[in-house]
Structure formats: C-alpha cells, structure tokens
Amino acid sequence: LVVVIDFGAQYAQLIARRVREAKVYSEIMPHTSTVEQIVARRPKAIILSGGPQSVYAEGAPQVDPRLFEQQIPVFGICYGFQAMARALGGDVARTGLSEFGRTPTVVDNAGVLLAGLPAELSVWMSHGDSVAAAPAGFAELARSSGAPIAAFENVERSLAGVQWHPEVQHSQAGQRVLERFLYEIAGCTPDWTAKNIVEDSVASIREQIGDKHVICGLSGGVDSAVAAALVQKAVGDQLTCVFVDHGLLRKGEAEQVERDYVAATGVDLKVVEAADQFLDALAGVIDPEQKRKIIGREFIRTFEAAARQVVGEHSHDGEVEFLVQGTLYPDVVESGGGEGAANIKSHHNVGGLPEDLQFKLVEPLRTLFKDEVRAVGEQLGLPAEIVWRQPFPGPGLGIRIIGEVTRDRLAILQEADAIARAELSAAGLDREIWQFPVVLLADVRSVGVQGDGRTYGHPIVLRPVTSEDAMTADWGRLPYDVLEKISTRITNEVREVNRVVVDITSKPPGTIEWE
Ligand code: XMP
C-alpha cells in the first residue's frame, strides 16, 4: 500500500491512479490524518499531494515532522514538496516568481530519482512559493526559472520530492519519475494487477458473506456487472441477480444480459419482465421530471418485490443478509472515505429500498477506479460489450423520446439507436465517443420525399459527446462519412424517420440527455 496524503488539491485521485498504473496499490488519506493513523496502515511509501495554498497561508495544512522519522519512504509533490522542505528545516521562499503550466526544467544532477531521464524536462508547474534551500542532507536535482530547487532527494532516508506535477499528462516523463520513486527509492514491487485484485477480493467477499445469501441488482452497466461477477466467483450460487426489464432498454440489451452475461459468469439470474407495468404508468406523461419519478418509483416497487421473493426462497430466518452495490473508489473518496455503512438507508443504484428490507452491503469495487473495474471485468472474462459499455441513464430510452413514451415510439427509437451504435462501433469510435444518445422527436414531424412519395415523418437527433465525467461535455466530431452512413441507414431502414440531425451543443449550456 502507498498512501497518498490529500492536501486538498484535485490531484490526489490522479496521483493514486498513477501509482496504481505503476501496479502498486494506493489509497488516499486526508491531510488531517495523524502520523499514528497513517503508520497504522503500514504503508510501503507515502506521497504528499499538491495543495491549493501557500505553505505560509493562514491555516495551511502542515506536515508533522515526525512523519519523516518512521522509516517510511516519502515523496512530496508541489505543495507536498514544499511542506516537506519546511518540516525538515529547508527554506521555502515567496519569490514572487509564480509558474503555471508547461515549464522547462533543467536536471543538473539526476541522482536516483531522475536517472535516465532527459537533461531538460518540460513539466507542469503550478506554484507561487518555491523551495530556496533544501534541508540538510538532501541533494538538489533540478531547477526552473521560478523554482531554484525543483527536485531533491535524500536516498539514505528514502525521501524525495518534486516541485512539478508528475501525475499530469502534460509533464514529460511524469510516470517514469513516479515509478523511479516507487521502485528505486521506496522499493515497491509492481504486483497490483487485475489477476491479484480478483484473487484478493474473492477472498475477502467469501470472508464477509460466509454461508449467507446475497442479492444483486443488475442494470446492464459495467459496475453492477463486474461487482456481481466477482461475488459470483466468490460464493457461487449463494448469489441471486435481479434484472428489471422495464422495456426502456436499447435493442438487444435485455437479451445481452440474459444470454451473454449469464453464459460468461454462470450467475443465477432472475429477470423481471415489467415493460407493461412501466409503460402503463408512463401513459400520457410528457414532462421529463415526471417520467423520471414514475420510472424510479416503479423500479423500486419491482426490485423490492423481487427481493422479497428471493428472501422467501433462500433465507431461513426471513432475511437475505447481503446486497451487492457497485460503489467505486471516487464515490468513497468524495463522500469522506468512511468505512462501510452497515445498513442501507438510501441506495442510489436501486433508488432507495425501504428500511424494513435491511441488508448489509457488499461493495467489491469500493477500492477501484473505473478503468480498474474494466480491467477486472476483462480478467473475469466478461463480454467486451459489457466491459466497454458506454454509460446509459437509469430511465433509459424513456428520456430519449421527447413526448409520450409508447411501444411504437420505443420500437422506432430502438431501431435507429441500434443502427447508430453499430456504425459507431464499426468506425472504431466506441471509446473515443464517451456517450452517444439517440433521441426521437416524437411530437415533431417534417416533410420529406422517399421513393415517389411525400413523407411526413419524425426526426432523429444524434448526440455524440466527449467527456470525462459527464459534468461537462463537448459535442463529438464524428467523421462525415460515419454521419452519412448513419443517416442513410436510419432513413432507409426505419420507415417512420425521414430526417437525421446532429446536436452540436456543448455542456453547458446543453445537458447530455435531451430530457
Ligand atoms: P445530463 O443529461 O445531465 O447527463 O448531462 C449526465 C449523465 O447522467 C446520465 N443521466 C442519468 N443517469 N438517471 C441516471 O441514472 C437519470 O435520471 C439520468 N439523467 C441523465 C446521462 O446519461 C449522462 O451520462
């Protein structure tokens, strides 16, 4: 374990991910952690992250100098570098020479940390203060025009640091700098691999669940699919998966879960066919928020009924003890990183189960980032269509039909969407395009001409976007030939559609979905 101490910048998660990319397990701890709390985790190394403030600012987080006396290797980054210098008796000066962005940095003495790297590095800086004198016993390694000491190390004590941000992609050789610290100075071994993650988590799931029964709601998305596959591998037929087919899925999706997923994992799957129930409840509804509420409500009802049935079938004392949830590490970090909650009150993914259905949570993805979840999914042999699936909203196509949701309209949208997805895949753009909603403007008609006749059909909107986290997005620049193929195929193959348009709005101001 490598502990990344979070000094409050947005970079701590990125550092933790980069450490894991070096195949070394890492976790984030807040800077308010005491030396005792940190040492209790028995880390192989500690990394001090960047932070937003000057070390001189009032209330700026400091590093307890005792941290450096625990015989644990420490690497300081940016603010962490300065805090380290200060705690060890070096000098941090307010030079007034701020550096932001790409900065040429000269390596005068490579030492162990920078050995084998170019003599001049173009790295990402973001600082106001800078280290003016290294602590006693430290070798100065590099400098930039705004940072007279931009890197230092004390190999005997296994301490080192850099002023720049090696974790950001713009920093030349950034990953190599991190790896040199981890492998050469801290003596870490690269053994955090998908195979080991699977083995470790299977062992701990077994220990947690014992001989009890466990239930998992599958959404068709990658997180619940991987979580359930891990639990299945650990406890086999003690797991029952529940998949609610609300009729608002994309073409072939329910079949994919029923057939491919079960074939790949062997899970005991309970499919609840609830399309009629959902569509009846949605009849006549146009307002998007209203649609979401109805779909959410019906989902809870359906899942709850299925859960009660599983409880009845599998439990002697009237309760299934465990519920699998696909919580990821960023959610854990962002919600304060507390250790596993015992009873669920509100369950985000299944939409808030009632309190009289009390489960303990099994969260096998709690320590993983999204890319690691995908690697684990591949390791478990899940189909690529599931592992690399783009995000899809819980309310499904219900919020991609602008107007009332009916069976006929769903069928039209499913066909058009299947064509758009197939052509995106054929063009090899599935991973480049982050999400690709296809929207039916069901209450709009326009005039067209097809064959010899006039048509009066509906438009389909293509909404390809690029994004990292869905908070902001840009419209995806699909190549013209791909757009052309999609347009031709949809208008030829989906009778009710006579026009295809592309949404070229970023978010903000537009959201990704139309409703
Ligand atoms: P917007 O449209 O707000 O979408 O830009 C951001 C991301 O969230 C997804 N989304 C939803 N997911 N239930 C969900 O589970 C919802 O009601 C919902 N609405 C939007 C959307 O697909 C995008 O990835």
What CATH class is the domain 405-502? alpha beta
User: What are the pLDDT digits (tens) for 398-417?
Assistant: 999 999 999 999 999 999 99
Confidence check: pLDDT of 348 > 70: no
User: What are the pLDDT digits (tens) for 269-286?
Assistant: 999 999 999 999 999 999
pTM: 0.81
Active site residue 167: yes
**What average pLDDT does this structure show over 183-201?**
96
Residue with tokens 């997180």: 223
Confidence check: pLDDT of 58 > 90: no
Q: How far is the CA of 393 from the centre of ligand 1 (A)?
A: 5
DSSP label at residue 391: P
CA distance 380 to 229: 7
Q: Is 393 in the pocket of ligand 1 (CB under 6 A)?
A: yes
- Band of residue 339 on the pLDDT scale cut at 50, 70, 90: very low
Confidence check: pLDDT of 353 > 80: no
Confidence check: pLDDT of 344 > 60: no
Residues 6+ apart with CB under 8 A from 147: 97, 99, 105, 125, 127, 130, 131, 163
Nearest CA to ligand 1 atom 22: 393
Lowest mean pLDDT among 38-42, 104-108, 341-345, 493-497: 341-345
User: What are the pLDDT digits (tens) for 79-138?
Assistant: 999 999 999 999 999 877 888 899 999 999 999 999 999 999 999 999 989 999 999 999
CATH of 2-185, one of 2.60.40.10, 3.40.50.880, 3.40.50.970, 3.40.630.30: 3.40.50.880
Nearest CA to ligand 1 atom 21: 393
pLDDT of residue 317: 67
**What average pLDDT does this structure show over 434-439?**
97
Q: How far is the CA of 336 from the centre of ligand 1 (A)?
A: 23
pLDDT of residue 340: 33
Nearest CA to ligand 1 atom 14: 393
194-387 CATH? 3.40.50.620
CA distance 62 to 53: 11
Mean residue pLDDT of the chain comes to: 91
Which residues are 450's β-sheet partners? 453
Using a pLDDT cut of 70, give the percent of the chain over it.
Answer: 95
Residues 6+ apart with CB under 8 A from 323: 214, 215, 216, 217, 344, 347, 353, 359, 360, 361, 362
Q: Is 513 in the pocket of ligand 1 (CB under 6 A)?
A: yes
pLDDT of residue 76: 97
Domain with CATH 3.30.300.10 in the chain: 405-502
pLDDT of residue 342: 28
Ligand 1: nearest atom to the Cα of 473? 5
Nearest CA to ligand 1 atom 9: 393
Q: Is 506 in the pocket of ligand 1 (CB under 6 A)?
A: no
204 compared with 452, residue with greater pLDDT: 204
pLDDT of residue 59: 83
Own/partner pairs, 287-296, CB within 8 angstroms, 24+ separation: 288/399, 288/515, 291/395, 291/398, 291/399, 291/405, 291/515, 292/395, 292/399, 295/246, 295/248, 295/394, 295/395, 295/396, 295/398, 296/351, 296/394, 296/395
Residue to mutate (ligand 1; options 222, 292, 475, 512; most atoms within 8 A of CB): 512
CA distance 13 to 9: 9
Return the structure tokens found at 255: 């079949």
Residue to mutate (ligand 1; options 224, 467, 513; most atoms within 8 A of CB): 513
Ligand 1: nearest atom to the Cα of 510? 5
371 compared with 227, residue with greater pLDDT: 227
Domain with CATH 3.40.50.620 in the chain: 194-387
Q: Which CA distances in Å does 167 have to 47, 178, 184, 258, 444?
A: 12, 8, 18, 41, 49
Q: Would you call the peptide bond into 508 cis, given omega within 30 degrees of 0 as the criterion?
A: yes
The answer on whether 223 is annotated among ligand-binding residues is yes
Phi, psi of 116 (to 5 degrees): 85, 0
Decide: helix, strand or coil at residue 469: coil
Please classify residue 352 by burial: count the beta carbons closer than 10 Å to its beta carbon, then call 0-12 exposed, 13-18 middle and 19+ buried.
middle
**What average pLDDT does this structure show over 307-325?**
80
